[in-house]
Amino acid sequence: MDTQSSKTMTCPPRVSRRLDAGVPQVEISRSKGASSSTEQLFDTLLRDSVTQTFSGVLGKIAGQALLDAVKAQTSLETDGLPRRPDLLDQALRVHLGSAARVLERKILRALTAKTASGIARSETEPFDFASEIENIRNQFLKRKQAGKQPQILE
């Protein structure tokens, strides 16, 4: 936020940025017809789901330590993680190995509950974390755009 003019700075609708040489370039674009405030709401819900899951499963101190390690691994601040779930997935795998799947499932479950999404996955069903996040995001944005305001659960 620019403190002198009191205007909020927003990112352009299409941003392409290479964050890590080991990760393929991903283009982030605003969903057609979705307002930036709706996308910001989803991003907030995802950030909350990640931090609450980390703290709930690992405890407050270990959860914060994992979040700090993920931020260091991805070179992103917490605000940037919702736009790059692939980097979150990669960082969790680096730090937790196969146990990352447990946290990812819990994050997806928390996010699904917060967005009132109808997506429910089997605990044993294979999944791609970044794709699941995008599926939930798209479902949330479509419902918001259609005027079917889902109840946000805190």
Q: What are phi and psi of 3, to 5 degrees?
A: -75, -25
What pLDDT, in 10s, does the model give residues 71-121?
998 888 888 888 899 999 999 999 999 999 999 999 999 999 998 876 656
C-alpha to C-alpha distance for 31 and 72, rounded to whole angstroms: 28
C-alpha to C-alpha distance for 63 and 71, rounded to whole angstroms: 12
Q: What is the pLDDT of residue 154?
A: 52
Local confidence band at 145 (pLDDT 50, 70, 90 cut-offs)? confident
pLDDT surpasses 80 at 125: no
Tokens 């609708």 belong to which residue?
13
C-alpha to C-alpha distance for 96 and 107, rounded to whole angstroms: 15
Local confidence band at 132 (pLDDT 50, 70, 90 cut-offs)? very high
Is residue 38 within 8 A of residue 141, CB to CB? The reply is yes
Q: Which CATH class is domain 34-145?
A: mainly alpha
pLDDT surpasses 90 at 11: no
Q: Where are the domains of the chain?
A: 34-145
Q: What is the pLDDT of residue 33?
A: 47
Q: What is the pLDDT of residue 147?
A: 73
2-11, 12-21, 77-86: range with highest mean pLDDT: 77-86
pLDDT surpasses 90 at 47: yes
Of residues 153 and 53, more confidently modeled: 53
